[in-house]
Structure 1
Amino acid sequence: MSEHLFNGFEPVSSKQWKQQIQFELKGADYNETLVWESPEGIKVKPFYHNDEFTPTAPTGTKAANFSICQNIFVFDIEKSISRANDTLKRGAESLRFTIENDKTDVEKLLNGIPLKETTVYINLSFLSIDFVKRIDVFAKQKGTTIYIQLDPIGNLAKEGNWFGGMQKDIDTLNTIAIACSNINFLSVDGSLYQNAGANIVQQIAYTVAHANEYFNSIATINKPIVLQVAVGTNYFFEIAKLRTLRKLFRLIANEYNHTEGCHIIATPSKRNKTLYDYNVNMLRTTTECMSAILGGANAITNLPYDALYHKDNEFGDRIARNQLLVLKHESYFDKVDNPADGAYYIEELTQQMAEKALAIFKDIEANGGFLHQLKDGTIQRKIQESATKEQELFDSGKEVLLGTNKYPNKNDRMSGELELYPFVKKDPRKTLITPIIEKRLAEQIEQERLNGEDKNGC
């Protein structure tokens, strides 16, 4: 019966749909009324039809196998080991340790966790050949996969300085590439561009151009490069962003005979998170994690709802982790590998993003490359232009953050809750370039509200 269910219905072409829509509009212009343009210049139609769709190659991602990752800042080794094992028991599947001191007993740290069942990422805030070699020896002895997140160019972009100087940092990476064959040692922090206000196409182009500088500078890259990505709230656009990023990375990497691909770690954006009505942050991070999964991220580290103003705490971490557990095991996001493949809207977004991001990438390369444009301030200026446009939309109420610039709770008080400073920190120092500064949309309005609390003695 089901085979003949729709036999009585004639197929409807996209042309017929448009004619019917035009009729319903009663003379209003179709393009002006229903086709809208994103900040990236992407035109979004009211519907997509298979007679206008050109099939593309499958993405080949393993969305069903995405890993729930827990961030752990390492200060006290014993406490870090205890926290790591506790989070693994509570549902985490991989761990990302942030280490700021090359005196850290990394072997003791790694020996304290079940490595056979756990993927480990180690984010280093310094550049040390000897420290990385120690991890490489450990990985060989244990036969385990470890991703080291080293990104000197990312440090330059964010802090304004290299770790030890351009040539020294590049030489160090080349030495590590030759001496350390048992670990993945290279990372690109694309989350910086999103959190600073770059639009989606810029984020893709800058991340790929950033990676291209490593291809140009490092003689041997025979492991996947880790791409760290921040995911915003534009649901379908963010799905397409990750797909496009993987597609363009593959295109560029093939030019260098790099066949290992990229490994994407996604985390929700900080840019749209708020201090007031902070529980709404959970809704934002849920949709952002969904976009990351459907876009094909390898690992996802959720952002706790109170991360802006609270230090790391068990409750915030547990809620963030449970959001991913619900998505994976109760919403069945672990059942399909390439769920976005063949979706006309997402495929069209992916294609438009790829074309526009590739054009920006080519322009960067034609004008001296990513590092050159960082040094002359072009990248910073372009990001600031996009950030300013988005800030104007927020300030005018056209871009809405519920509980902040729309339906705020005037009785909400936060001045007594701040364990962390939630705004841009001013740290005057000598830098080689102007750093790219991360800034949230709600900062100014939140500062005004906090000042009002202080004046009222609340």
Structure 2
Amino acid sequence: MSDISTMKNVTFPAPSFAEWKQEVEKSLKGKPFEKLYSTTYENITIQPIYTRHDVEKLAYIEQYPGFANYIRGTRPNGYIKEPWKVSQEISASSPTEWNEIVKHDLEKGQTEIHIVLERLGFPVTSLDDIEAMFSGISLDTYSLRVDAGAQSLSFLALFAAYLQQRQIPFNTVRGTIGMDPIGALAETGKLSPSVAALYDVMADVTKWAQEHMPNVKTVIVRGEPYHNGGANAVQELAFAFATAVEYIRACLERGVAVDAIAPRIQFSFSVGSNFFMEIAKLRAARLIWSNIVKAFGGSESSQKIAMHARTSYFTKTVYDPYVNMLRAAAEAFAATVGGTDSLHVSPFDEAIGPADEFSRRIARNTQLILLEEAHIANVIDPAGGSYYVETLTAQVAEEAWKLFQQIEARGGIVQALADGFVQEQVEAVARQRKKNVETRKEKIVGTNFYANLAEAPVEKTNISNEHQRSSSVINKEHAAALQAGFANQQWIETAVDMALRRATAREIEAALKTEEASIHVKPITQWRLAEPFERLRKASEAYLKKYGSRPAVHLINIGNIPNYKARADFITGFFEAGGMAVEKSEGVHSAEEAVSEAINANGTHYVICGSDESYTDIVPAIAKAFKQAKPNVKLYVAGKQPADIEQTFIEAGVDGFIHIGSNCYEMIVSFMKEMGVALNE
């Protein structure tokens, strides 16, 4: 026997692609090789194998991390010296509760304080609120990420006033306090004040931050409004970069240099369930941004993208929510392999309501496990060199660039939104996703596949922001002073000065409003993949509560267990996806026996389950006897049949066929309507 050193030197001959293909074709047993190719929502063809030949023509394949174009990362050492920031979004019902939660979570491993004002759970209206929120929190130790929505002036003014009162130097604060008016426009369909006024504020805040808060970014570009509308990876990138270009141009027109604005933009992308596509998306984002800033004349340093990621809200479910832990873990893994600078991992109950201590801990620890136990940070660009990922990165970048150019040709992202072009693009992909979920080509475990009707639901009380501005009375003196300062184009200085004089956020926002017309566009509908089936489940539960039982489908199983089990299991899972009960039966061997059992069952909808061979004689006999005994019931057959056999069965009285190609959602809706189940579609 060879010793270990000899074994280490033994090599195996590398098979050629032709040899590999020959072996694969043998295993396919007559099926076409082309069956191994697939097409993504981005309309990119995925090959069954990638080789060196696929990457030979790629321009950036030999680059190193931290060097120009930055496709492999903006830092030469990746995460080794500084890992990504654990940036879990935190909400609460009051400033005091928020302060307690932040302190607790920072102690438990969170490394960035993360606020989304629209989802915070309480209004930040005054300096008192800021004081309660940040009391006892070391702002020079932790970075801050504030997603302020359409405009950040009111929050930034209150925050700056708080720092000034506490004599905390502005330059010790680092992170992002950013505004994204176009993202808000896409999400809500409206903006007030006007886009031009918001650009004035953006430019002024950026100039001020450059001098006073040099370590704080002032603009956020969010891809989430598009992702959560159903957009694919290419669309999310293209629309985000079109937005960023709009912001750069607006700031250049207002006297802000490209090297001042570009480094103050942070991108925020959702990370969905297509693992390799999401890795490629983040890598492509670095390449595209580098080219854009270079085109504006920006320096190499300005070409480095700042990128936050959040695991997808779009993929999360209300039912069987603990599966969301697995979804979020895979998405977080993709985000870190892709090289995000900071990350929010969705708590498993995000789709249900505000996170509690347990769901926050699991989400936070998902990141810590990737960091401390999976050692993701110990490898620089772990996806680099993969023939598949490198090819996919180049394809995503190329397609995103083409779509970005289309938007530019239409006059930019705002005009493209006003024309409905962006909405049409997103809706086209959303329809495709919805159809694939409804037909169960896209599987959502616990929702349209393997639904668990015995599961106890996770109950939550939603936090509402409806009261956010209603309780605040506007001080006329404050409003007049703010309007006078804003009229002189002194946005941030006026707002900070008035915040120190106890002006409120509402007063600052009211003073921002101008006589210029606000803009209205068709909003991009925000939804989740699981919602169609969740609506059916809720309808079934309401029916159960009202009548004491779920709407039910009855099976007529033919023959012995091996003869019907596969199709009976399929039909059971099919209808349980809508929360319906599936009443099973022992195998029957004659039409008389089947009808007798059906009469005793007293159902309204029946499905015959068996093998194709067993169907030939018994199905027509069951159908004819059934329609005589119970003419108003519906009778279906499990499994796709040849057209001539289907026609024979239909003539005998069969109402339809249920098989793997059926639209599960539409079929359940049809059954429920016939049963009198109230649907809120």
Could you state the TM-score of these two structures normalised by the residue count of structure 1? 0.91
Contact 1:63–1:295 (CA<8 Å) still a contact in 2? no
Q: Distance in 2 between matches of 1:74 and 1:98?
A: 11
Residue 222 of structure 2 is aligned with which of 189, 211, 214? 189
Q: Distance in 2 between matches of 1:167 and 1:19?
A: 62
**1:454 alignment partner, SS class:** helix
Decide whether aligned partners of structure 1 residues 148 and 75 sit closer, same or farther in structure 2, where only a CA change above 3 A counts.
farther
Tell me, which stretches of 5 or more residues in structure 1 are unaligned?
423-429
Q: How does 1:30-69 map to 2 (within 5 A)?
A: 30=33, 32-54=34-56, 55-58=61-64, 59-61=72-74, 62-64=78-80, 65-69=83-87
TM-fit CA distance, 1:418: 4.5
1:452: which partner in 2? 540
TM-fit CA distance, 1:3: 8.1
Contact 2:230–2:429 (CA<8 Å) still a contact in 1? yes
TM-fit CA distance, 1:111: 5.4
Contact 2:278–2:338 (CA<8 Å) still a contact in 1? yes
Say yes or no: does 1:207 pair with 2:240.
yes
2:524: which partner in 1? 436
1:118: which partner in 2? 142
Contact 1:272–1:442 (CA<8 Å) still a contact in 2? yes
1:70: which partner in 2? 88
Contact 1:127–1:163 (CA<8 Å) still a contact in 2? no
**1:391 alignment partner, SS class:** helix
Paired residue type of 2:42? E
Paired residue type of 1:106? I
Q: Distance in 2 between matches of 1:256 and 1:75?
A: 44
* Partner deviation per Cα, 1:6-64 (whole Å, 9 max, x = no partner): 5553333334323443455455432x221211121211111122243232424124345
1:176: which partner in 2? 205
Q: How does 1:13-412 map to 2 (within 5 A)?
A: 13-25=16-28, 28-30=31-33, 32-54=34-56, 55-58=61-64, 59-61=72-74, 62-64=78-80, 65-73=83-91, 76-99=94-117, 100-104=123-127, 105-106=129-130, 109-110=133-134, 112-125=136-149, 127=151, 129=153, 131-133=155-157, 135=159, 138=163, 140-141=169-170, 143-181=172-210, 182=213, 183-219=216-252, 220=256, 221-258=261-298, 259-260=301-302, 261-412=304-455
* Partner deviation per Cα, 1:207-235 (whole Å, 9 max, x = no partner): 11111111121122153411111111111
Contact 2:113–2:145 (CA<8 Å) still a contact in 1? yes
Paired residue type of 2:191? W
**1:341 alignment partner, SS class:** coil
Decide whether aligned partners of structure 1 residues 24 and 125 sit closer, same or farther in structure 2, where only a CA change above 3 A counts.
closer
**2:228 alignment partner, SS class:** helix
Q: Distance in 1 between matches of 2:430 and 2:9?
A: 49
Contact 1:308–1:420 (CA<8 Å) still a contact in 2? no
Contact 2:186–2:523 (CA<8 Å) still a contact in 1? yes
Contact 1:159–1:435 (CA<8 Å) still a contact in 2? yes
Q: Distance in 2 between matches of 1:13 and 1:392?
A: 39
Q: Distance in 2 between matches of 1:445 and 1:341?
A: 39
Decide whether aligned partners of structure 1 residues 9 and 317 sit closer, same or farther in structure 2, where only a CA change above 3 A counts.
closer
Decide whether aligned partners of structure 1 residues 179 and 388 sit closer, same or farther in structure 2, where only a CA change above 3 A counts.
same
**Over alpha carbons, which structure has the higher Rg?**
2
Decide whether aligned partners of structure 1 residues 128 and 317 sit closer, same or farther in structure 2, where only a CA change above 3 A counts.
closer
Decide whether aligned partners of structure 1 residues 63 and 134 sit closer, same or farther in structure 2, where only a CA change above 3 A counts.
same
Could you list the structure 1 runs, at least 4 aligned residues long, displaced by more than 6 angstroms after superposition: none
TM-fit CA distance, 1:321: 1.0
Contact 1:380–1:436 (CA<8 Å) still a contact in 2? yes
Decide whether aligned partners of structure 1 residues 130 and 271 sit closer, same or farther in structure 2, where only a CA change above 3 A counts.
closer
**2:198 alignment partner, SS class:** helix
Contact 1:35–1:45 (CA<8 Å) still a contact in 2? yes
Contact 1:402–1:408 (CA<8 Å) still a contact in 2? yes
Larger CA deviation: 242-251 vs 399-408: 242-251
**2:529 alignment partner, SS class:** coil
TM-fit CA distance, 1:126: 5.5
Decide whether aligned partners of structure 1 residues 257 and 444 sit closer, same or farther in structure 2, where only a CA change above 3 A counts.
same
**1:450 alignment partner, SS class:** helix
**1:334 alignment partner, SS class:** helix
**1:187 alignment partner, SS class:** strand
Decide whether aligned partners of structure 1 residues 157 and 19 sit closer, same or farther in structure 2, where only a CA change above 3 A counts.
same
TM-fit CA distance, 1:282: 0.6
Paired residue type of 2:531? E
1:425: which partner in 2? none
* Partner deviation per Cα, 1:68-90 (whole Å, 9 max, x = no partner): 11212366333222221110111
TM-fit CA distance, 1:180: 2.1
Decide whether aligned partners of structure 1 residues 116 and 421 sit closer, same or farther in structure 2, where only a CA change above 3 A counts.
closer
TM-fit CA distance, 1:178: 1.8
Contact 1:72–1:97 (CA<8 Å) still a contact in 2? yes
Q: Distance in 2 between matches of 1:392 and 1:7?
A: 51
Decide whether aligned partners of structure 1 residues 449 and 11 sit closer, same or farther in structure 2, where only a CA change above 3 A counts.
closer
Decide whether aligned partners of structure 1 residues 378 and 24 sit closer, same or farther in structure 2, where only a CA change above 3 A counts.
same
TM-fit CA distance, 1:323: 1.4
Contact 1:136–1:180 (CA<8 Å) still a contact in 2? no
Contact 1:236–1:346 (CA<8 Å) still a contact in 2? yes
Contact 1:154–1:188 (CA<8 Å) still a contact in 2? yes
TM-fit CA distance, 1:395: 0.2
RMSD: 2.5
* Partner deviation per Cα, 1:387-421 (whole Å, 9 max, x = no partner): 0100000000100001110111122353x825239
Percent identity, aligned pairs only, is 30
Contact 2:228–2:527 (CA<8 Å) still a contact in 1? yes
Q: Distance in 1 between matches of 2:379 and 2:354?
A: 36
TM-fit CA distance, 1:299: 0.7
Q: Distance in 1 between matches of 2:459 and 2:7?
A: 63
The higher-RCO structure (CA 8 Å, 6+ apart) is: 1
Paired residue type of 2:363? A
Could you state the TM-score of these two structures normalised by the residue count of structure 2? 0.62
1:427: which partner in 2? none
Tell me, which stretches of 5 or more residues in structure 2 are unaligned?
65-71, 118-122, 465-517, 549-681
**1:239 alignment partner, SS class:** helix
TM-fit CA distance, 1:367: 1.9
Q: Distance in 1 between matches of 2:172 and 2:263?
A: 16
Larger CA deviation: 136-145 vs 162-171: 136-145
Contact 2:115–2:146 (CA<8 Å) still a contact in 1? yes
Paired residue type of 1:341? G
